């Protein structure tokens, strides 16, 4: 099996020392995590690695040595580094080296037994991107192998907390050697997050308990709460706050990403709401809106009255039943008169109501939009009543006509069996049925016209409310955090990896560069590592959703002149 050595590119310029990492035996892979520099005491190094060990991870070990020196220093330093294999016993023992200021690299795996013909492959990886990204395991075995490498690197946070200038028994070089990637404000926020989350969780539990009180479960209140968009949106945001401020740790990357998306959505929602409040209360726009609301309601009422007057005449040249037309028209005109009287009665309090409604935007723009939808529903309640009356009257006439039509055919609806059965009617029943059918049939056009007009008006109101609800759902459901990562740090959304050949010469190990890819999966569905094509330039090896298949690499490198040497026996 090919020996894979994953080496962090950030340590390519580090001073000579020991290679600290983890060994994955089932994949014959060595994952180098850091370089430990001189001077050190071997017993302290072993104690330090034991203290950093986690039960759910492979053991930390000294995998070999790293030599970064001039040519005249190579011989003496290499002999000293080989002697360290007797103290830190690991099979195989890796010897990585690079000439200082040059591009010459060497990779020699030493084994305790007889020499084997397996080649070694040196794979460079960006340690920062590998730690911050997550490559999820896939059904293919190649993806599971590289996912194990990603998980090994990401699970070594304790080792990365020790930088090059820290005071302690060891001195390490890794991706955070020049300082931990966090500011003072971020660290203070992390420390204050625990008590803040506990306090917010207690307050949310208190609010949820008040909302579940028995008083709000009685029929009138429960029916009203179920119809208001504001109550629905507040309950939705309450569940989001419980999820974000809960002390329960996310079990996987999907839950963590969902929490981050919800948190960013909440912050954006509240920010937009605060901007809306500042715009409304600037230059007294609340008063201007309240002064314009009553004239607008009067204008809508006048347009509806003109429409009803048109329907009570000869609309579009259609001859309607005058008696029914007058009854329906006056009935709806009276409703409009009641509604206008109610609006004028509430006009002194409209500005105060709008003032408190504007303050609710501090809870978020979605809450303000939900309140706007409820206000539109209340202001157009008379149109909803017209639609309900017209729809109910139209449905009753259609139901009566269908029943009388079955009477002419000698049929009836069997309620018990829920089917149409044959039935014999006498002469009186047929005569009365004929009269009723004729009356309903000639009254149907008048009812259908009113139903059609009020349905179109109701449809216009529903479209406006639907656009508002669509905007609310857009703010609630768009993964803003994931989109931000996609634009700024695309490697955090790892969809696979790609490999690029850096060096492929006889007598030297194959050197590859592994890069995290966030693009879509390979459309061919192949994640195998293909042999390089002939021609100028450096070929690129690509592997999606977990990376390459190492079987092709083994077949290609079976005749490689680079052979692992036998490990010297130190007595």
Our CA dihedral for 277, 283, 289, 291, rounded to 10 degrees, sits at 150
Together in a domain, 12 and 88: yes
Structure tokens at 224: 């009203």
pLDDT value at position 532? 40
For a pLDDT cut of 90, what percent of the chain falls above it? 9
Together in a domain, 261 and 120: no
If you average pLDDT over residues 94-120, what whole number do you get? 70
Q: Which residue has the higher pLDDT, 410 or 286?
A: 286
Chain centroid to Cα 21, Å, comes to 33
In a domain, 561, yes or no: no
In a domain, 42, yes or no: yes
Element housing 67 (H / E):
strand 60-69
Q: In 245-321, which residue ranges form alpha helices assigned H by DSSP?
A: 253-280, 285-311
pLDDT value at position 17? 85
Give, as one character, the DSSP assignment of residue 467.
Answer: H
In a domain, 104, yes or no: yes
**CA dist., res. 245 & res. 134, Å (int):** 23
Together in a domain, 253 and 390: no
Together in a domain, 198 and 322: no
Chain segment 70-85, per-residue pLDDT in tens = 555 555 666 666 677 7
Q: For 100-132, b where at least 16 C-beta lie within 10 A, e where not — what string?
A: eeeeebbbbbbbeeeeeebbbbbbbbbbbbbbb
Domain boundary among 462, 478, 494: 478
For a pLDDT cut of 70, what percent of the chain falls above it? 79
- In this structure, the number of other CB atoms found within 10 A of the CB of residue 298 comes to 13
Least confident of 24-28, 65-69, 343-347: 65-69
Domain boundary among 132, 162, 178: 178
- In this structure, the number of other CB atoms found within 10 A of the CB of residue 14 comes to 20
Q: How far is CA 166 from CA 46, 160, 169, 177, 415, in A?
A: 18, 11, 9, 9, 86
184 Cβ neighbours under 8 A, 6+ residues apart: none
pLDDT reading at 570 higher than 90:
no
Chain segment 236-248, per-residue pLDDT in tens = 888 888 888 877 7
- Average pLDDT in the chain: 77
Chain segment 457-501, per-residue pLDDT in tens = 999 999 999 999 999 999 988 888 888 887 887 777 776 778 888
Together in a domain, 267 and 291: no
Together in a domain, 147 and 30: yes
SS3 17: strand
Together in a domain, 109 and 194: no
Determine the structural domain holding residue 190 and report its residue range: 181-273
pLDDT value at position 231? 86
**CA dist., res. 434 & res. 206, Å (int):** 66
The total number of structural domains in the chain stands at 3
**In the beta sheet, which residues pair with residue 36?**
18, 172
In angstroms and rounded to an integer, the radius of gyration of the C-alpha atoms of the chain is 39
Together in a domain, 375 and 254: no
Together in a domain, 252 and 289: no
In a domain, 434, yes or no: yes
Chain segment 138-176, per-residue pLDDT in tens = 545 566 677 788 888 887 877 777 665 566 677 888 877
pLDDT value at position 268? 92
**CA dist., res. 541 & res. 513, Å (int):** 10
Together in a domain, 240 and 308: no
**In the beta sheet, which residues pair with residue 31?**
6, 22
DSSP states of 9-40: GGGTTPPSEEEEEEEEGGGTEEEEEEEEESS-
């Amino acid at each position: 099996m090919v020996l894979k050595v994953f080496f962090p590119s950030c340590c390519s310029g580090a001073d000579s020392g020991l290679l600290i990492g983890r060994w994955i035996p089932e994949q014959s892979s060595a994952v180098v995590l850091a370089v430990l520099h001189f001077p050190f005491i071997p017993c302290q190094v072993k104690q330090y690695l034991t203290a950093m060990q986690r039960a759910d991870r492979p053991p930390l070990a000294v995998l070999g040595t790293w030599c970064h020196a001039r040519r005249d220093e190579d011989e003496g330093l290499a002999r000293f580094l080989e002697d360290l294999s007797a103290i830190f016993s690991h099979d195989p023992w890796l010897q990585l080296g690079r000439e200082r200021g040059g591009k010459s690299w060497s990779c020699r795996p030493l084994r305790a037994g007889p020499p084997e013909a397996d080649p070694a492959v040196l794979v460079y990886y960006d340690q920062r991107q590998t730690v911050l990204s997550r490559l999820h395991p896939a059904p293919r075995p190649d993806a599971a192998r590289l996912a194990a490498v990603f998980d090994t690197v990401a699970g070594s946070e304790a080792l990365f907390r020790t930088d090059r200038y820290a005071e302690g028994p060891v001195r390490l070089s890794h991706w955070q050697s020049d300082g931990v990637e966090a500011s003072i404000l971020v660290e203070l926020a992390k420390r204050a997050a625990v008590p803040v989350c506990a306090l917010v969780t207690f307050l949310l539990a208190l609010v949820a308990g008040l909302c579940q009180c028995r008083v709000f479960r009685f029929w009138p209140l429960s029916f009203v709460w179920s119809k208001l968009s504001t109550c629905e949106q507040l309950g939705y945001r309450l569940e989001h706050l419980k999820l974000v401020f809960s002390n329960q740790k996310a079990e996987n990357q999907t839950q963590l990403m969902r929490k981050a998306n919800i948190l960013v959505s909440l912050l954006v929602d509240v920010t937009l709401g605060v901007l809306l409040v500042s715009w409304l209360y600037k230059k007294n726009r609340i008063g201007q809106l309240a002064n314009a609301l009553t004239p607008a309601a009067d204008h809508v009422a006048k347009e509806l009255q003109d429409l009803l007057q048109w329907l009570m005449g000869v609309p579009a040249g259609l001859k309607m039943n005058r008696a029914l037309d007058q009854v329906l028209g006056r009935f709806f005109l009276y409703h409009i008169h009641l509604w206008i009287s109610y609006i004028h009665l509430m006009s002194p309090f409209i500005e105060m109501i709008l003032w408190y409604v504007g303050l609710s935007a501090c809870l978020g723009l979605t809450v303000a939009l939900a309140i706007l939808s409820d206000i539109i529903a209340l202001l157009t309640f008379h149109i909803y009543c017209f639609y309900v009356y017209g729809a109910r009257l139209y449905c009753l006439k259609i139901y009566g006509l269908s029943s009388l039509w079955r009477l002419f055919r000698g049929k009836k609806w069997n309620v018990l069996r829920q089917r149409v059965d044959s039935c014999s009617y006498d002469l009186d029943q047929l005569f009365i049925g004929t009269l009723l059918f004729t009356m309903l049939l000639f009254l149907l056009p008048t009812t259908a016209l009113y139903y059609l007009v009020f349905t179109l008006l109701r449809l216009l109101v529903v479209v406006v409310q639907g656009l508002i609800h669509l905007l609310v759902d857009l703010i609630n459901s768009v993964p803003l955090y994931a989109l931000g990562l996609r634009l700024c740090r695309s490697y955090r959304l790892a969809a696979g990896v790609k490999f690029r050949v850096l060096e492929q010469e006889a007598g030297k190990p194959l050197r590859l560069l592994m890069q995290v890819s966030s693009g879509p999966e390979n459309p061919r569905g192949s994640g195998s590592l293909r042999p390089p094509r002939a021609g100028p330039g450096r070929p690129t090896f690509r592997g999606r959703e977990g990376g390459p298949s190492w079987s092709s690499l083994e077949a290609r490198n079976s005749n490689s002149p680079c052979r692992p040497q036998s490990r010297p026996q130190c007595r």
